[in-house]
Amino acid sequence: MALVGEAWWSSSSPRSSRSDGHRPFSCSVGDAFLYETVRVSYDIGMATINISAARERLPEAVETARTETVFLERYGRPAGVLISPERYEQLMAAMEDAEDVAAFDEAMAEEGPNIPWEQVKADLGWT
């Protein structure tokens, strides 16, 4: 339990289903190796605060969000999340990477003839 001012703040431990360390993940089709990524589990703290208390102590909640995720609750239900700008950028980069991998997988699964690299460059105006 983390106390900031009064007993309005509660911290919970990270989900126990996550493990520390890296777990490699790769994808291949036949003998061709397509890509490899590393899954990283983040061991970050989490705090929960109701919206009324957050409204009264917003600077403290924002300061706490610099080092741990702050969940905002309304009537005991999740209503929002405060995270640091750095963590937001990490999450956005991870989401973009996942979208790129999904697009790559979709492109590799398409049926039909391959397009020669010279044709691709010509189509893009690179030659």
Report pLDDT for 17.
Answer: 35
Residues of the chain with pLDDT under 70: 1-44
pTM summary value: 0.55
Output the pLDDT for position 31: 52
Q: How far apart are CA 77 and CA 67, in angstroms?
A: 23
User: Of 35, 32, 63, nearest to 47 (Cα)?
Assistant: 63
Residue 4 confidence (pLDDT): 36
